[in-house]
Structures are given as structure tokens and as C-alpha cells.
Structure 1
């Protein structure tokens, strides 16, 4: 229970892992419909050849700023909501999961403008295969904010908010699969899983959660990039739903179902190994903590 609570609170942080060149490859494949899907190293080789050696690291500073702000907002909200809701009472995994989702929602609403600017700056100066993509000229983070507000309106800073809110569920899917696989391996017999077992099921859980939600991540990137025809409707929710549906249908028509998963290889390489190592670390920390607290290994295994 200790491990589940502490690690669930980390769920949101993994959404923006920054293994930077892999993230660059993923983003190019998501927003540039005409770029052919290839292996990650082939995409990165193309980018380096066409745009220079430092191109895969373009926009690193906005990403660092966004990550710092996002993590601060998430953890501050998580612990504040937990303190207010529990008022000294003992927590439960389900409570922590709900608080984690609430903190994730607040985080999305507060930090989406940063991620919109981040996406624009990462893609600025790219050699796109799609000739319809308009070039941008931002001199930095503040200039990007000013130009977006001036040319597209304040609301453009929250492009991609709806899919981002849905993606808050990603850690929940990940933990559901992880706990199910862990119970299956134990098969009713309380035992501590080996390091290799934890590593493997952690990787499997993250891979499935990432694959299931990846089309939403693709739509999120396209919306943040801002170069799409937005429908006009009195209802923001209906507009968001129709825009997502339109983008999904158009991508499938042009590239087939696999078009929704362009860049998935880079995303899996970026996140799965990290998640597997974090699950392994979390199990080891939980086990050591119970021992330090004087609890028997059997008590830990029951959790």
C-alpha cells in the first residue's frame, strides 16, 4: 500500500519524459503527415543531415522550463489536496489515485500554455515534408506567447487541453495492468517478486498504457502545433470533441490506422525503460521501508 500510494503520486511526471532526441523524432512524425514512418535512428539521421547536428536538441530550454513548472504544480496540488481531503486521516490507494487525477487535471489546465509554446519552439526551423505547414519565427518563450496571443487569440494557448485531460488516465491504466500482472505472477501465493519480474511487468504495463493512449498523444501534439482548421461551435466541449474526431478521421484516411501510431517506437523507447526502472526502484524502496519500520517481509508481500 505504501508503494502504490507513493508511486501513484508520480504518475503525471512520466507524461513528459525528456529523452530529448527520441522526443524530437516522435514529435516530427506526429505533426508531419508526409514524413514516412521509419525507425527512430533513421528519423534522427534525416534530421541531423537536413538541419544540423544540434537539431534533435532544438527547444531544450523551453522543455526544461515546462518540466520544472509542471512537476512543481503537480506535486504541490497533490500534497495540498491530500492534506485538505484527509485532515490527518490515513489514506488509501483509491483515494490517492483520485487525488492524483485531480492534481493532474489542475496541472493540465495551468501548464498547457507552456507545453503549447514548447511544441512550437521545438518544431521551429524544421524541414517538413508537408508543404502546407507554415513556418514560424519566435525569438524565444516570451515572444512565442506574444505572437500566439496576437495572431491566434488567448484561447490558442490551451490548444490540446481536452486530449491532455484524457491522458491524465494514462498512469491509472498503467497501474491497473501492473497490479493485475503482479497478482497473476503470485497466483494467490504471497511472495516477493524478483527484480527481473518487476522490471518486465513494469515495462509491459507502460508499453500497453502508452500504446492504448498514443492516438490521443498524436492529436495532442497536432493541436498544440496549431496548424489545423478549427471548427466553430458555441460549445467548447462539442468543438473539442469534433476537432479530435476530425483529426483522427483525417489521419486514418490519409495514412490508415497505423498513421495514428507514427512515432510510437520512439515514445516506447523514451518511456518504457524509464517506467520499468521506476517500478523496480519503487518495489525495492517499499520493501526496505517496511523492513526499517520493523514489519515482517510477509506483511509487505500481502501488499
Structure 2
């Protein structure tokens, strides 16, 4: 089996396991990112911890609410990880061949430079994004469906109260109408319903919503790989220079390097992830124009206008925990699949390009 295929299978397996373990965090994080709150409301609001928000989802939607969209997410993760790892290895092999050829001509030391690492990761990431974006649009819709339905119901109540105030409608008639709205439960919502909704709203193009910030976010794994590969190379060089102990890279070291690399990449690209989630979530929430985005630039300008810079970092603490944990699990799993060859592993959490 070629290295490219082995890396693809290892990446898919590791990604699925990491996805299952961290999925509740992904669901809560997506809801945090897509929650529209004005500057004033954000300043006055009490920020709830991730655990409290998980409990709120369980109370309002049941345990199934934490796993909304899990099936397409697992399919997307397997495809995403497999595609990414496969093409990463293909491009890496070509980059190594070029580096060796350059050394034969007296240029370079035969190793891949940092800029080449970035290009390899960017090419693999771009292909992955273009092929799997429709899956992540569906996952985002499914994760935020009940949240969007709740917003719509709140808007209907506000409209009813405004109408009642204008027409001097009070008493039992108003209470009956409010009770009727409260009795309406969120519609059953699965993958097919999400497909129909996206297609109805925007046609085929709707399945590639958020593609611009997602493509830009290809720099996330590029930054991650730059930090990871550089750290790994430094660790190997330092260990070889000492000529002491085992030269093999341990699972703990891979876990640590993967966590550090993912932390740096997540912090630097998080605002793009929020914009992407906003674009992929249901747009028609009430009649408030500030809640609907026609594209990437429109989303950015409205978020700045109505929410300020804090809006771009909603749920970042949850994402850091989820991403670092998922990337590290995926890295160690890949190592085990590849017969403990930790030095060849390239950890990545494709949740950042979905929904992650």
C-alpha cells in the first residue's frame, strides 16, 4: 500500500474517532458562533460556560440535540480526512523529490523548506474544501436548526405583541395566541430536510455557501503544519545531536506537538470560522436585516456594525478545547494505524473547514 493511501486511511480513521468524542463540543461551538447578539446585549449578557451550554442543549433538545448532524458529519470527516491526507502525501512526495533534485544540483540540503510545507498543505486543503463543502453546509444547518426555529418563534411573538399593542388587543385573546405559538414544536429535521431547505433557499450554489472564508481558512492547517513540522524537525535534530536515549518520537510527544500546533492555528484563524458558520446557517431568521447575510463581505460588515469585534470570537474557548483535543487524538490514532511510526504522522482537525 502506498504512503498516500495509508495516510488517507489513517487520517479517515483517526478523524472519525476524534469526531465522535468531541462532537457535542462542536455542536455547542457552532451554536455559539451563529448566535446573533448586538454590541449592547453582548456587553450586558452573562457569558455561560461550555458545560452550562451543553446542559441547556440537553434540557431543550434532549441528548440527541448534542449529536444533530452526526451522520453526515462522520461521512464528511471520513471523506475530508481521507482526501486531505491522500493529497497531502502526494504533494509532499513531489516536494521531497524536487528538494532531492535541487540538492543534486548543489542547491539546498535536500529537505523541504517551510514555504514548501505551506504550499503542500494549501493545495491539499483547497481540494478538500471544494469537494466536501456541501457536507459541512448540511451539518451546520442540522446543528443550528432548533436554535434558528427558536429565533423565528421569538420574532413571531414580538410581532404579535407589537400588533396587539397597536390594536389594543389584551386579555385572553392575546394569551391564547401566545400559547398557540408556544405549543408549536420544531419540525423534524434530518439530512434530506436540510438538503431541501438549502436547495430551496439558494439552489445548487447554496451547498457552497461560505466557500470563500473556508478556502482562506486553508491557511489554518498550513499554519498548523508549519508549527508541527518545524517543531518535529527541531526535536529530531536536538535528539540526534545529543545522541542519547531513543531517537523514536513517542505518542505523548506527537500529542503535545499536535496540540500546540492546533492551538496556534485556531487562535489566528477563528474569525474566519465564525463568518463561515454564519453564512452556512439558516439566514431567514425573522425580518431583522442584521441577521441575514448575502455573502462574505456583507457578513463581515454587518458583524462589525451590529456586534463589534467580540462577535468574531464567540465560542473561541470551546473551539480551542475541541480542536486541540480532536487534532491530538487524530494524530495518535494515525500513529497507531501506521504501526507506531510517529515521525511520519501529520495531525489535522478538519472540523475547522466544516464545522469542521
**TM-score, scaled to structure 1:** 0.70
Gaps of 5+ in 1: 232-238, 290-303
- Give the alignment partner of residue 259 of structure 2, picking from 203, 208, 220: 203
Pair 1:164-2:167 in alignment: no
- Give the alignment partner of residue 144 of structure 2, picking from 90, 111, 123: 123
Q: Take 2:329 and 2:150, find their aligned partners in 1: how far apart are those partners?
A: 35
Pair 1:59-2:109 in alignment: no
- Give the alignment partner of residue 153 of structure 1, picking from 203, 213, 223: 203
**Is the 2:254–2:342 Cα contact (8 Å) retained in structure 1?**
no
Deviates more, 1:85-94 or 1:30-39: 85-94
Give the aligned partner of residue 103 of structure 1. Answer: 124
Q: CA RMSD in A?
A: 4.2
Indicate how the Cα distance of structure 1 residues 288 and 32 shifts in structure 2: closer, same or farther if over 3 A, else same: closer
Deviates more, 1:276-285 or 1:219-228: 276-285
- 1:69-148 superposed matches below 5 A: 69-75=79-85, 77-78=87-88, 93=112, 95=116, 97-126=118-147, 128=150, 131=154, 137=187, 139-148=189-198
**Is the 1:219–1:247 Cα contact (8 Å) retained in structure 2?**
no
Pair 1:33-2:36 in alignment: yes
Give the aligned partner of residue 46 of structure 1. Answer: 56
Once the two structures are superposed, what CA deviation does each residue of 1:258-283 show, in whole Å capped at 9, x if it has no partner?
33222122212212123345556759
Shift of 1:150: 2.6
Shift of 1:141: 2.3
Pair 1:178-2:228 in alignment: yes
Once the two structures are superposed, what CA deviation does each residue of 1:185-233 show, in whole Å capped at 9, x if it has no partner?
78967355776555444322211211111111111111101415344xx
Q: What secondary structure does 1:38 align onto?
A: coil
Pair 1:266-2:318 in alignment: yes
Shift of 1:247: 4.3
Q: What secondary structure does 1:105 align onto?
A: helix
**Is the 1:116–1:158 Cα contact (8 Å) retained in structure 2?**
yes
Shift of 1:154: 2.2
Q: Number of aligned residue pairs: give it.
A: 270
Q: Take 2:201 and 2:54, find their aligned partners in 1: how far apart are those partners?
A: 32
**TM-score, scaled to structure 2:** 0.61
Deviates more, 1:74-83 or 1:117-126: 74-83
- Give the alignment partner of residue 22 of structure 1, picking from 20, 25, 42: 25
Q: Take 1:24 and 1:45, find their aligned partners in 2: how far apart are those partners?
A: 12
Deviates more, 1:163-172 or 1:197-206: 197-206
**Is the 2:11–2:330 Cα contact (8 Å) retained in structure 1?**
no
Bigger CA radius of gyration: 2
**Is the 2:31–2:143 Cα contact (8 Å) retained in structure 1?**
no
